[in-house]
Structure 1
């Protein structure tokens, strides 16, 4: 569920991690998957690993990012 409740740590929520991922991709233009994961973990903490894949899926399904399989990298759609 996307809506937070009283037990949700906002720092590790899907929306927050998605925002960090999108901002990082926008600032870099194109970024390798492993670099993006490491950058996200540095900014939010080790628990972000659990949400990282969901954040990428969320952004991809909302047409905010694209994945380049040959380069194993992510870029924005804009």
Structure 2
């Protein structure tokens, strides 16, 4: 999914969906999992459901967000990276 091909819809790439997730979480700092998913379905398309979890995993591995199990929410982690 990270390596593009000529058949890849760039709107549904992991990088683009991750950028949209960061954009919405920066504005709200913390949101429920379902709220983020429904926002992305409205702004991009319903097929974003297939790329949503890999995008969350990608951002978690980069240290940009945290998942809270009890509240089922995603939290943006602000870092001082350049």
Fold shared per TM-score above 0.5: yes
Match of 1:22 in 2: 22
Give yes or no for contact 1:26–1:75 (8 Å, CA) kept in 2: no
> Is 2:62 the counterpart of 1:62?
yes
How far, CA to CA, are the matches of 1:10 and 1:56 in structure 2? 17
Q: Deviations over 1:21-69 (max 9, x none)?
A: 1111111111000000000111110110000000000000110001111
How far, CA to CA, are the matches of 1:4 and 1:44 in structure 2? 18
TM-score, with structure 1 as normaliser: 0.94
SS at the partner of 2:39? helix
TM-score, with structure 2 as normaliser: 0.90
- State the aligned residue count: 78
Q: Residues 1-78 of structure 1: matches in 2 within 5 Å?
A: 1-78=1-78
Which consecutive residues of structure 2, in runs of 5 or more, have no partner in the other structure?
Answer: none
